[in-house]
Amino acid sequence: MKASSDLLHALLLVLDDDEVSSQLRSATEKLGFEVKICNDYHSVESTIDHHEPDVLFLDMHFGRRDGVEILALLARKNCKSRIYVIGAMDEKILESACRVGLQFGLDVGGFWETPIEIADIEERLALELDRRSRFSSDSFREAIGPGEFAIQYHPIIVVSANRNTSIIGVEVRPHWEGKRGSIVWLSQILPSMLENKLMPEFNYLLMDKALESYCDWLETDLDLGITVCMNESNLIDLNWPDRMIDIVDKWAVPHNRITFAIEQHAMKDRSGLALSALTRLRINGFSIALDSMGADIEELDELLHIPFSELRLKRVLVNQIGKNMEAEFNVSTLISLAAKRSIQTCAVGVKTPEAFTFLQDSGCTTATGSLFGKSLPVTHVAKFFRSEFSKRVG
């Protein structure tokens, strides 16, 4: 497959709805994309062979074909485009299509139900342009240097049955400043970081930088835990436990203040290496959090031999609270299952007071999300910690 060299920002619309095509073309051309529309399977195949777009919008309803067939075609072509799935159908189906694309090894950025809010498209693509302009020409190895990235912190809030709330910790969120002034988060460039095999080294630098700030908080008696999300590539790095212990001891931070968050699927795929690494960290006093989609409670039950101390309910699951009874049942069951085994639970991505109340009633231990405010720069953490946080939730 040939990469597109003559199109600076190429966008391919794979759909056969003329009205939606017209709306998307108009919105994306204003952002500087050169747009091509394909409305049949063979035109998609021909276009991908000659010019791989930077971004691709794929309609799941596609004439006599369906979007999953197109995803399979793109996988066979080793397509590297950022793909967004769209369609006038239940979001469960769209979410499932995204998972299929990810399983195919494609770079799937998310989905939209139609009719589409054009403002949402414009915002997402503006960030996509920023991500590409920031990292397309720069060396990724230079981008992970200590002075190249900054850290913001998500507050982690105690969820108590009496409705009182307080900040108990922070989650580390690395970011870069885009050339257009927006923030580029790690998740937006993660595929390229993994492709360049930079995640293990980056996580060492991230940990070192985060603990430098953390030491300043400890000196002012700021009693906070700190959570750092680790990529599954760390689990196959035999030096990871030793390197992490050395970094933490360098800054003289108590081990019990630190939680490493790991994806559930990584534990399953690399169970031998992961179990060894995480057991060593637990022996040395660190906490381990398991990020779970909650899709298969029986599978989670099988993972209880892994020495994790916290179950984190992922954003995609928490966002369904108040919208989907099945998701609510899944959340409450997971919380109950964890509590019976003395495992704490943390809900990630809480947006609404209704979701927060549901989590309180279900017995969730902690939570994080936009309901509690935006991510904080390091200089604002102490002020936030000492404020009367309960007024924010009401």
From CA 111, how far away is CA 91, in angstroms rounded? 8
Residue 301 scores a pLDDT above 90: no
Lowest mean pLDDT among 66-75, 76-85, 136-145, 263-272: 136-145
| Cβ–Cβ under 8 Å, residues 190 and 203 | no
For residue 188, is it within any domain?
yes
Same domain, 126 and 144: no
- Judge if 106 and 144 occupy the same domain: no
- In percent, the amount of the chain with pLDDT more than 70 equals 82
> Residues 325-373: pLDDT tens digits?
888 988 998 899 889 889 999 999 998 999 999 999 999 999 999 888 8
| Same domain flag for 126 and 148 | no
Residue 229 lies in a domain: yes
Whether 1 is in a domain gets the answer: no
Check whether residue 201 and residue 329 sit in a common domain: yes
CA separation for the pair 71, 188 (Å, rounded): 20
4 falls within a domain: no
Q: What is the CATH number of the domain that holds 201?
A: 3.20.20.450
Using a cut of 0.75, tell me whether the model's pTM lies above it.
no
Phi-psi sector, 59: left (phi>0), alpha (psi -120 to 50), beta: beta
Look at 280 and 220; give whichever has higher pLDDT.
Answer: 280
195 and 230 together in one domain = yes
Rounded to the nearest integer, the mean pLDDT of the chain is 81
Q: Same domain for 38 and 169? A: no
pLDDT value of position 5: 35
The pair of structure tokens assigned to 368 is: 């994080």
261, β-bridge pairs = 229, 289
Assigned domain for 3 exists = no
In one letter, which amino acid is 359? L
Residue with token string 């596609």:
62
Assess whether 87 and 151 both reside in one domain: no
Which domain-ending residue is among 95, 120, 135?
A: 135
Residue 390 pLDDT exceeds 70: no
What percent of the chain is predicted at pLDDT more than 90? 26
Amino acid at 206: L
Q: How many CB atoms lie within 10 A of CB 88?
A: 14
User: Is there a domain that residue 60 lies in?
Assistant: yes
Same domain, 105 and 251: no
- DSSP secondary structure string for all residues of 315-346: HHHHTTTTT-HHHHHHHHHHHHHHHHTT-EEE
Q: Based on the domain organization, do 112 and 224 belong to the same domain?
A: no
Rounded Cα distance, 188 and 192, in Å: 9
User: Domain containing 96 — which CATH number?
Assistant: 3.40.50.2300
Query: Are 58 and 67 in contact, with CB atoms under 8 Å apart?
Result: yes
Distance between CA atoms of residues 300 and 149, nearest Å: 35
At 138, the amino acid letter reads: D
More confident residue, 158 or 51: 158
Considering the domain architecture, whether residues 109 and 202 belong to the same structural domain is answered as: no
- Domain shared by 77 and 199, yes or no: no
Could you give the CA distance from residue 45 to residue 315 in angstroms, rounded to a whole number? 34
CA distance 110 to 188: 12
Pairing of strands 287-292, 310-313: parallel
Number of separate domains in the chain: 2
| pLDDT value for 162 | 54
- Strand intervals (E) in the chain: 10-14, 34-38, 55-59, 61-62, 65-66, 82-87, 107-113, 150-158, 167-177, 183-185, 225-229, 258-263, 287-292, 310-313, 344-348, 366-368, 376-377
pLDDT score for 393: 47
- Reference 27, options 95, 92, 122, 117; nearest CA is 122
Distances (CA, A) of 339 to 213, 349, 355: 33, 21, 19
Q: Which of 135, 154, 170 is the last residue of a domain?
A: 135
Range of the domain at 225: 140-393
Looking at the structure, do residues 93 and 178 belong to the same domain, yes or no?
A: no
What is the dihedral sign for C-alpha 365, 367, 371, 373?
positive
pLDDT band, residue 22 (cuts 50/70/90):
confident
| Encoded tokens for 298 | 């029986």
Query: In the listed set 135, 167, 191, which residue is the last one of a domain according to the structure?
Result: 135
**Would you say 183 and 175 are in contact if contact means Cβ atoms under 8 Å apart?**
yes
